[in-house]
Structure 1
């Protein structure tokens, strides 16, 4: 299979599943955009992918912090401006643990990063995704099975046990 001429965006591509996915897509010929918070760390990722797949096209997008809706909006605007089409979107970035953190809107950090951020990004890229008949993959976790959603409002703000699991259930 060849992905020559296709553009793929992978979030959370500096390690783990995101890194391996970005590398595989680059190896198939796609232009791969790394959607990452730490653009300095991404420089090493680009070097390792290009070394593994000589001639591959891997670029670092603007900094993307899914904890911040403003960052997501700025990132999406830059991608929409720079690329005429997005053919593959891999929503991989996520967190399992973080200190008790809330966004300025009062949303829990885990819920923002794992659910609302990827949702917002996908919606802001939606026109290009639909126009190019894109594939969108959202990576989740089986830990959502370890809890039941009792109150949907608690998903956004409750810090009790199961918070991470709730965020994965909503993906």
Structure 2
């Protein structure tokens, strides 16, 4: 990152997708600015590589929580761990994402781009609501064009369906969470 980062000593930052690419740079810069950085990692070897990339400061300022953000249970477990360890979160950067060349469905039955690129971020924002509010957090959602390239089934007779394990409000296209509210509200204009 080229922009000057203020002193983030005593600030807690959660960065998803920190074991590679842009997330690795973001996590390293936040650690070097003094923040305590938490990341959720599926692959222990990539987490070790992140520690090595950051250097000695990682020992005191990088916390790796094992987990798979493509799974609803992984999002819930990571959020609970963060809440149990940290009263406040000051920065949440939802950077986790992937591009799959073939149609893939998560263990929960959700198309993988949607599960990882959208639902994981929504889940963390929702589940970390209280520590984010206490920390007066900044939330950054990094998006890529992969959501426009979700791999759909080729047959209309066998459409991708919303799994029953995800609440309807989590995958609704008609509602979004509002800042300052724990609830969603329809985004469409009311009928006259």
Name the TM-score, length of structure 1 as normaliser: 0.78
Question: What is the deviation of 1:41?
Answer: 1.5
Q: What are the equivalent positions in structure 2 for 1:4-153 lying under 5 Å apart?
A: 4-51=9-56, 57-61=61-65, 63-142=66-145
Q: Matches of 1:46 and 1:105 in 2, distance apart?
A: 31
Alignment RMSD = 2.5
**Structure 1 residues without counterparts, runs of 5 or longer:** 148-154, 161-169
Q: Matches of 2:59 and 2:43 in 1, distance apart?
A: 24
| Aligned residues of 2:31 and 2:58 also touching (Cα < 8 A) | no
| Aligned residues of 2:113 and 2:146 also touching (Cα < 8 A) | no
* CA gap 1:59/1:158 in 2 versus in 1, 3 angstroms: same
Question: What is the deviation of 1:50?
Answer: 2.3
Name the TM-score, length of structure 2 as normaliser: 0.70
Aligned partner of residue 78 in structure 1, secondary structure: helix
Q: Matches of 1:54 and 1:143 in 2, distance apart?
A: 31
**Structure 2 residues without counterparts, runs of 5 or longer:** 1-5, 155-172, 177-192
| Aligned residues of 2:18 and 2:96 also touching (Cα < 8 A) | yes
Between the two structures, name the one with larger relative contact order (CA 8 Å, sep ≥ 6).
1
Aligned residues: 151
* CA gap 1:126/1:47 in 2 versus in 1, 3 angstroms: same
